[in-house]
Amino acid sequence: MEYLGYVGLFVSLVMLVVLSYKQVSPLIVGPITSLFLIVVCGLNPTEMMFGSDTPDTYMKVAADFFAKFFLIFLTGSIYGVIMHKTGAAAAIAEKIVDIVGEKRVVLGIVLASSILTYGGVSLFVIIFVMYPISLAMFHKANITKTLIPACVALGSFTFTMTAPGSPQIQNIIPTEFLKTPVTSAFYPGWIAGLFMAVVGFFYLSWRAKKLQEQGRVFDAHDELEDQSQNLPSFWLSMTPSLCIIVLLNGFGINIVWSMCAGILLTIALLWNCLPNRHEWLKSLNTGASNSTLVILNTAAIVGYAGVVKAIPEFNSIVEAIKGLDVSPYYFPAITTTAIAGIAGSASGGLSVALKALAETFVSMGIDLEAVHRIAAMASGCLDSLPHSGAVITLLLVCKLDHKSSYKDVFVTTVLIPTVAVFLVLVPICAFVYS
């Protein structure tokens, strides 16, 4: 019976991964796995799911995440949808791809995805924007479409998602818990980020060449669409994103206000890109609805991770990690990586890790700006395992499956970021901040 809690934790993790992989909704997976773990650990199900006397009940942790980040998800989703509907996101992506040329199509898609991500467009919107553009470019370059998910993922799921100054939620969450700036550990963060970008680019370029040599070329001709939509100019499309970046990084304006400014500027500059007020209202409503679904799905899994934190075995695991004979800067890297992998979500795992361990990081005396950057980037190491909602969505949009494309997604979003965090970022932070 001594190890029953550990067995329950392991089995609940397997349940979480398998059910998510089978595309069961996180709104179902989160409560089911939480209840299973609570029962196996011999805790009070009613108190642990709904109670008010326990700080880490399922509903309390999920609701706290929703309350803390709802406006960030809301404004980010609305901005992403109107950038998509007006054609601004496509204009930015096409311009970048045109600049680099069809011979460097991998570089073009990675760059376009990166600029959209760093400009504040949400990851899920980028998937929908980049797929038709990537499909057309892969057709011109005669490269199999199975490599598209990895190219889009490298540009949007890795370095720009967690780099210093990024307006993405994964870089904003640490500011709420650690009271650190979004540019924390600027130079170490960008060194690690550039490592991910460069190594990932060379890997994908090598894979594209290898696949062509094997005779695996473009064969999705039936999916090609008419790309004749009249798009706004590149600079007009980029202006709202530049505004967000400048307000957030240059003036230190709160992320919600920065996103609101970007939304208003997009409406003002690109009003004529939609036919009438009804279409604008429809786009705003779509963005709002999308944000609710995304944050509820994330909160449902965050609630499970909160229950994990409440069981005694969690503290034993944390103490064991703290006792490792390594630099203390590996502690936030290991814990955040593990929890994000459990949650299948960078934002969900990062939120739970910092909620549970922020005070521990402070008591350890390690630099909080370094913790911010390490935790943010570590959240992007195991968040893209097969059960990740983002990965499943990416493959579905690209009309592919795990068997055909996940290997390359794994290398670019799991293997390379993990090497960057543990062998590049953490050693640099340990040297600079110790």
Q: How many beta carbons lie within 10 A of that of residue 305, not counting itself?
A: 29
pLDDT score at 342: 76
Q: What is the pLDDT of residue 400?
A: 87
For the record, the structure tokens of 293 come out as: 């679904």
DSSP-based three-state secondary structure for 89: helix
Q: 416 pLDDT band (50/70/90 cuts)?
A: very high
Rounded distance between C-alpha atoms, residue 87 and residue 234, angstroms: 10
Q: What is the count of structural domains for the chain? A: 1
Q: Is the pLDDT of residue 132 over 80?
A: no
CB 28 within 8 A of CB 11: no
138 contacts 229 by C-beta, under 8 angstroms: no
Answer whether residue 239 shows pLDDT above 90. Answer: yes
Q: What's the whole-number average pLDDT of the chain?
A: 88
Contact 83, 121 (CB under 8 A): yes
DSSP 378-411: HTTTSTTSTT-HHHHHHHHHTT--HHHHHHHHHI
pTM of the model: 0.83
- Identity of the amino acid at 379: S
Q: What is the pLDDT of residues 51-96, one digit of tens each?
A: 777 777 899 988 988 998 899 889 988 998 898 889 888 888 888 8
**Residue 225, pLDDT above cutoff 60:** no
- pLDDT given at position 36: 96
Mean pLDDT, residues 329-342: 90
Q: Which of 153-157, 231-235, 258-262, 305-309 shows the lowest mean pLDDT across its residues?
A: 305-309
Residue at token pair 């006397």: 53
Which residue has tokens 């965090």? 421
Give dist(CA 434, CA 431) in Å, integer.
Answer: 6
Encode pLDDT of 268-311 as tens digits. 999 999 989 999 999 999 989 988 888 888 788 888 878 888 88
Which residues are CB-contacts of 154 (< 8 A; sequence separation ≥ 6)? 110, 113, 196, 197, 200, 201, 204, 412, 413
Which range of residues forms the domain containing residue 409?
Answer: 4-433
Q: Identify residue 204 by its one-letter amino acid code.
A: L
Interval 160-196: pLDDT, tens? 999 999 999 999 999 999 999 999 999 999 999 999 9
Among the residues of 56-185, which ranges form H helices?
58-85, 88-100, 105-118, 123-141, 148-156, 159-162, 169-178
- Residue 227: pLDDT band with limits 50, 70, 90: low
**Helical H runs in 165-274?**
169-178, 186-213, 234-245, 255-269
| Residue 222 clears pLDDT 80, i.e. is over it | no
DSSP 330-381: HHHHHHHHHHHHHHT-HHHHHHHHHHHHHHHHHHTT--HHHHHHHHHHHTTT
Choice among 123-127, 174-178, 251-255 with the minimum mean pLDDT: 123-127
